């Protein structure tokens, strides 16, 4: 998977909830913390990134809504945003 494409899809889904700047900063910071560097990432790394974002997202929107948003992220990442 292309890292920038995955991050772009994550930011697209998170932006309505966190704002574009916060969504982008969170996704990129978690990539760094998880050691996701370079131009590609594995499916396992993408899932780890989504998991990290999910825990923080719950603080902003609650657990139930967070679960829905994480589902949206997973679909967007797996389809390249065409879902």
Q: How many residues does the chain have?
A: 83
Average pLDDT over every residue of 54-65: 91
Alpha-carbon distance values, 70 to 37, 38, 39, 61, 65 (Å): 22, 24, 23, 11, 9
81 pLDDT higher than 80: no
pLDDT score, position 49: 96
pLDDT score, position 9: 96
pLDDT score, position 60: 87
Q: How far is it, in rounded angstroms, from Cα 36 to Cα 2?
A: 11
Domain boundaries, the chain: 3-79
**Tokens at 59, concatenated:** 């603080």
Average pLDDT over every residue of 38-46: 93
Predicted TM-score (pTM) of the model is: 0.89
Contacts of 15 (CB under 8 A, 6+ apart): 23
pLDDT tens, residue by residue, 20-33: 999 999 999 999 99
């Amino acid at each position: 998977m292309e890292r920038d494409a995955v991050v772009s899809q994550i930011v697209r889904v998170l932006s309505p909830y966190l704002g574009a700047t916060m969504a982008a900063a969170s996704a990129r910071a978690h990539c760094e913390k998880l050691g996701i560097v370079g131009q590609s990432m594995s499916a396992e790394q993408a899932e780890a990134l989504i998991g990290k974002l999910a825990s923080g997202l719950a603080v902003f929107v609650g657990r139930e809504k967070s679960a829905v948003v994480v589902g949206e992220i997973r679909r967007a990442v797996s389809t390249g945003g065409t879902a």
